[in-house]
Amino acid sequence: MIPVPGFENRRVAVFGLGRSGITAARALQAGGAVPILWDDGVSGRMQAEAEGFPVEDLTAADWSGFAALVLSPGAPLTHPKPHWTVDRARDAGVPVIGDVELFARAVAALPEGQRPRVVAVTGTNGKSTTTALIGWVLKQAGLTVHVGGNIGIGVLALPAPTPEAVYVIEVSSYQLDLTTTFAPDVAILTNISPDHLDRHGGMEGYVAAKRRIFQAQRPDATALVGVDERWGREILAGLRADGRSAVEVRTASPSPSRGKVARRAGWGGCRNRTPCQPIRRKQPPHPSRSASHLPPRGGRDRAGRPRPYRDR
- Is 196 marked active-site? yes
8 Å CB contact between 54 and 65? no
Q: What order of strands is seen across the sheet that includes strand 117-122? A: 144-149, 165-170, 117-122, 186-189, 222-226, 247-249
Q: What order of strands is seen across the sheet that includes strand 34-38? A: 34-38, 11-15, 66-71, 96-97
- Is 139 marked active-site? no
Integer Cα distance of 61 and 14 in angstroms: 12
- Is 282 marked active-site? no
Size (the chain), residues? 312
8 Å CB contact between 69 and 38? no
Query: Which entry of 146, 150, 191, 200 is annotated as an active-site residue?
Result: 150
8 Å CB contact between 141 and 126? no
Residue 51's SS3 state is: coil
Active site amino acids: 127, 150, 196
